[in-house]
Homo-oligomer: A and B are copies of this chain.
Amino acid sequence: MSDFTLSCPAPILSEERILLAHGGGGRLMHQLLERVFLPAFRDPALEERHDGAALEINGVRLAFTTDSYVVRPLFFPGGNIGDLAVNGTVNDLAMCGARPLYLSAGFILEEGLAVETLRRVTDSMRAAAERAGVRLVTGDTKVVDQGHGDGIYINTAGIGVIEAPWEISPRRVEPGDAVLVSGDLGAHGVAILSVREGLEFEAPIPSDTAPLWPPVAALLAAGIEVHCLRDLTRGGLASALNEIAQARGLLISLEEAAIPVSEPVKGACEILGLDPLYVANEGRFVAFVPQSQAARALEVLRSVPVSAGAVQVGSVLEENTAAVVLRSRVGGRRVVDMLSGEQLPRIC
């Protein structure tokens, strides 16, 4: 150590305590991943930095994924923590090109929670599981003392069968790929914040929470050579694209005019001071496909209700520059960086 550390500092976290931003899907979360979790667990599946792990067990190709849900408030326009916990994990499987089959559910309940609230949440989970075609097959419940939880936290893990005949992964993205998004952005984040801040808009903006396997299945069935898929949750489109740009050292260019944001969400974001590029979605994804198949892919996506608003928003330009740039309506270019944390904590 001694002098050596002066010129070559050890990779310690800039913050020695956990901040809310460490859970926000941005730069601090990636630091935590790179400096604590990846070195501790050192597993090639984790290093893929995908939404789930691709495993092969006795010749069967499976995807396996997990997410905990700590959204506040528990109920919001268009959904609640229960359907969010089902759809979120179903979508991580779909992003691996896997048909979602089975979910587990782990509940951490806070002492004092109304049983009726729990029942409303489990009812939503059942309905969401039915809609997504998955079975909830195993579970666990823990109770923590009042003041050490927030009503209900839910973890779901999921297993799916990989149906994509080729690998769908960030490392398949290449220059020339078209960048497609499956619909308008920002509704989930705005739905949460409107309740949290007690704001009322002219029309309530419901969360976009929905299962995303149907559009992925349609792309695969149509023979579209999908390179990579990612759902646009914590950190929104900007964070998802930055992750992929950095993982592969690619320059991704976006056209501001092409990015779909509904008028109500646009208005709400202006009032709330949010950039829709960074706002979380729970029923939207980005797909990287060869430019030659982009038109056909959009046609396929638009034939499925949840992705009826699919559009191309940009392209992958070149290798050796890890960045996301946005070409504005007036022709200027700016770098779309990764935020430190999230604009909104506890969004999912």
A-side residues, CB < 8 A to B, are 13, 15-24, 29, 32-33, 36-37, 40-43, 45-46, 52-53, 55, 57-60, 62, 64-70, 101-102, 104-116, 118-119, 122-123, 125-126, 129, 135-145, 147-150, 153, 155, 157, 159, 161, 345-346
| Cβ 8 A contact of A18, one of B15, B43, B112, B139 | B112
Q: Copy number in this complex?
A: 2
Name the 7 nearest CB pairs between A and B, nearest first.
Answer: A23-B143, A157-B157, A66-B104, A40-B122, A155-B155, A53-B137, A45-B137
Do residues B155 and A46 form an inter-chain contact, with CB atoms below 8 A? no
Do residues A141 and B32 form an inter-chain contact, with CB atoms below 8 A? yes
Do residues B155 and A17 form an inter-chain contact, with CB atoms below 8 A? no
Do residues A138 and B46 form an inter-chain contact, with CB atoms below 8 A? yes
Do residues B20 and A143 form an inter-chain contact, with CB atoms below 8 A? yes
A66 to chain B, nearest CB (A): 4
Do residues B41 and A122 form an inter-chain contact, with CB atoms below 8 A? yes
A45 to chain B, nearest CB (A): 4
Do residues B145 and A345 form an inter-chain contact, with CB atoms below 8 A? yes
Write out the residue numbers on chain B whose beta carbons fall within 8 Å of the beta carbon of A118: 18, 36
Do residues A155 and B68 form an inter-chain contact, with CB atoms below 8 A? yes
Q: State the CA gap A304–B5 with chains docked (Å).
A: 47
* Closest chain B residue, CB of each to CB of A157: B157
Q: State the CA gap A64–B62 with chains docked (Å).
A: 13
